[in-house]
Each structure stands twice: as C-alpha cells, then as structure tokens.
Amino acid sequence: MIQRLKSRNQARRQGTVVVLFMVVLPALLILSAVAINLAYLQLSRTELMVANDLAANAAGRALSAKQSVSAARDMAISIASLNRVAGRPLSLDSSTGANQIEFGVSAQITNSQYSKFQFDEISSLSARRMNSVRVNGKQENIAVYFPGLLPSNTSLKTQFSSVSMQVDRDITLIFDRSGSMRFFQMTWPSGYNPRSTAAMDAAANAGILRKQGNNYSYTSGQDSAKLDYFLWNSHFKLQPVALTPWEKLVNATDALMGLLSETPNTELVSVTTYSTGARNDLSLSEDYVGIMSNLRKQDINGSTSIGDGMIEGVKNFSSSITRPFASKTMVVLTDGYENSGKIGAVEAAKQITAGKVTIHTITFGTGANTVLMKEVAKIGNGRFYDVEGGDTETLTAVFQDIVNNLPTILVQ
C-alpha cells in the first residue's frame, strides 16, 4: 500500500515537471527572442551613430576646405554609403525636402552650464555664412531575427542627428621685414636706362639723389632699391606698377583680413615681425583695420631671424586674450635665408608644437630657403607653400587656402 502511494506521488511530481517544462521553456524562448531583437536594434542604432558622425565630420571638412555646399553634400553621401547600418549601406537623401543634410551656424549657448551648442539652419547657401553641417541619418525596415516578437511600441527603424562645426581660431602672423623685402624684382624693358643722366637728374629733383657736378650720391635714408622703385613708377611710369615684396605681402594680408571678416567663426589675429631681431607688433585682436594700419607703417630693414620671430609670436597664445577652446595657428612667411637670431627655425618649431600649435610656412620670392621652411611646416603639422613668383594674387590664394582649412569638431 505504501509502495503504491510512493509511486503515485512520484508520477504526480514528474507530471508537474513536464507541465512546467512545457510552459516555462516557450516563455524563455520568447523572452530570449525579444532580447535578441532589442539587442540587434541597439546595435543598429550604434552603427547609425558612428556612420552619421563620420558623414557629418567629413561634410564639415569639405565645407571648410572647398567652401562649397555641393561638395559638402557629396562628401556626406559618399562617406555615409561606406558604412553599413543593420546590414545595409547608410543612404542619405540630398534633396531639400528630405532634410537629411542641413547647413547653418552653431554657437555656444552662453547660459548653459554644460557648454552646449545650438544649431540654427540658414536658408542662404553661401558657404562663407556657415560653420556647421547637420546630418540626420535614418535606416528603416530593419530586418530583425524574430519579426513577430517585439514590444508593441518598438519601431523597426533607427535615426540619429550629428552636427559638425568649424571651431574658432587664434592666428599669429609671423612676417619677414628684413631688408630684402624692399627690393622689387622687375626686368627693365628695352629702351629704358635707369642710370641715364635724365633718369638720375629726375631722381635728384625728387630728393632721392644728391647731385654734385657729374656725380650722384644717395640722400639720407635712400638706396638703390628706392631709386629703382621711383624710376619705374614715377619717372618712366612703366606697367605693371612695381611693388616691393613687402607691399605685395601687405596687399595679400588685406585680402586675408577681408576673408576673415566674412567667416561665421571668430578669428583673433596677432602680428609679429622679424628682421635682425623680432617684436610683437599687435596682440590677438579682431581689429583687422588696425592690423593693416600697423603693417603699412613697418620699417623694412635688417637681417633674417626666422626662429626668433616664431618664439616671439607664440607668446601671443599665452596672453589673457587667448581663448582656451580656439585652435592655434601660426603662419610664418620669409623671402630669404635664416642668417640671424638666437634660435633656429627648426628648433623653434619643435618648442612651439609642444603647445599644440599648427604651423604653416610660406616662402615668398625666388631667394627663400624652401628646404628649411618645408621642414618647419612638417614639424608643425601644417602646410608648406612656395610663392616663387612673389605675386600678390598667388599669395592671396595661399592665405585663402589657410583660412578655408579650419578644424572641425562634432558638437552633437
């Protein structure tokens, strides 16, 4: 009797286990399937975030470098397509109504304790009015592993927005004002003799020369460069008008100030000049008119101490005016060889880049040391430019290229 009761209880327990197994196992399988679906959706969102950030950053760089809205759009589409989201390439619609690629201005919200940035779309598609690109990526119809097993409020699509912004920049200009920047390079045309009696008499009447009998000598502060400059422009009135390298530099810098005034970013500019020694002429400022006024009054004379100019110029980035979150750019220009100074340009560059400063270098005219300045730019993670002809137009284009290559950051 007892044995029969034991057998009956054991059968009941086994039956209960079977029932529980049949009920619990499907529930566990369903929960596992839901978890797998949700994990896959989360993975897809992460993939979209990465792809979207890459597309926005690339578009921001293209907007900066090319100054072209269409180039920025094309870059965003191209980079997005190289990244897969939920097993498919991310596709961006460039049409206006799709609102997947937008252009505007980003600015820091001053009353935000978290230093957030606000993006405002602008209707004008002039690249110079913009500093930001927003990419709104999405991937729809995501094929999960168990389509029928998702919470009712879960969407089979994912979307994400990324904003890439060009950062503000502090710029220090390091300009060569050595004596060679006074000498213009022009070939006298046939039939014009700059040392004829008529030409020398004209220079004497203008106060450049002193005439004693048949002999001529320079008056105080005058020299052969100033004599030739007067004869070309004022006596013979030849075309094109002769400009000294310094005048060409001033004209190109004037164009640079115009470019900076058109950008939506805030660029503070300082000026350091060097010859036998170096001096800081202007601290970081938005006073572009004042910068030009200062350059036009410079005294051009002496030797070439490039390294001294760089070391003096980098001090501007340690002043109270310097903005901690602005990128730091140094532009070094010379028309000659380093022949003076306490420190060489290469050693100066090594010291400066320890402070995370980008150094661009420009050689101007035919007598500059291109090898040295290439090395300085390489150390400074910048670009080297050679304006061999020393013309204003090419130098202006170089400045424009530097301005258009602003660093970009993701702010959303």
Give the amino acid at 370.
Answer: T
> Do 113 and 150 lie in a common domain?
yes
> Do 395 and 278 lie in a common domain?
yes
User: CA-to-CA distance for 236 and 194, rounded, in angstroms?
Assistant: 9
> Do 204 and 92 lie in a common domain?
no
pLDDT attached to residue 66: 79
User: Which CATH number do you get for residue 378?
Assistant: 3.40.50.410
> Do 202 and 319 lie in a common domain?
no
User: CA-to-CA distance for 188 and 235, rounded, in angstroms?
Assistant: 13
> Do 45 and 177 lie in a common domain?
no
The answer for residues whose C-beta is within 8 angstroms of residue 167's C-beta and 6 or more apart is 265, 325, 326, 327, 406, 407, 408, 409
> Do 208 and 132 lie in a common domain?
no
Query: What range does the domain containing 227 cover?
Result: 190-235
> Do 114 and 257 lie in a common domain?
no
> Do 147 and 177 lie in a common domain?
no
pLDDT attached to residue 19: 52
Residues 161 and 153: beta-carbon distance below 8 Å: no
Six token digits for residue 85: 């989201």
pLDDT attached to residue 381: 92
User: How many separate domains does the chain show?
Assistant: 3
> Do 208 and 62 lie in a common domain?
no
| Number of helices (H), then strands (E), in the chain | 10, 15
pLDDT attached to residue 6: 54
Flag whether the pTM goes above 0.85.
no
Buried b (16+ CB within 10 A) or exposed e, 69-80: beebbbbbbebb
Nearest by Cα to 186 from 230, 220, 252: 230
> Do 10 and 122 lie in a common domain?
yes
> Do 129 and 216 lie in a common domain?
no
Six token digits for residue 172: 């220090």
Nearest by Cα to 270 from 210, 330, 359, 202: 330
Q: pLDDT tens, 152-180?
A: 555 666 788 898 887 778 999 999 999 98
Element (H, E) at 176: strand 169-176
Of 132, 166, 200, the domain-final residue: 166
> Do 203 and 176 lie in a common domain?
no
User: CA-to-CA distance for 61 and 83, rounded, in angstroms?
Assistant: 18
pLDDT in tens, the chain (412 residues): 555 545 555 655 555 555 555 656 666 776 777 677 778 778 888 888 899 999 988 988 888 777 788 898 999 999 999 999 888 898 988 887 788 999 888 877 765 555 577 888 887 766 667 788 999 988 887 776 666 656 555 566 678 889 888 777 899 999 999 998 988 777 899 999 999 999 999 999 999 999 999 899 999 988 888 899 899 999 999 988 888 889 989 999 999 998 888 877 778 999 999 999 999 999 999 999 999 999 999 999 999 999 999 999 999 998 888 887 788 999 999 999 999 999 999 999 999 987 789 999 999 988 899 999 999 999 999 999 999 878 889 999 998 888 887 777 777 7
Residue 279 pairs in a beta bridge with: 273
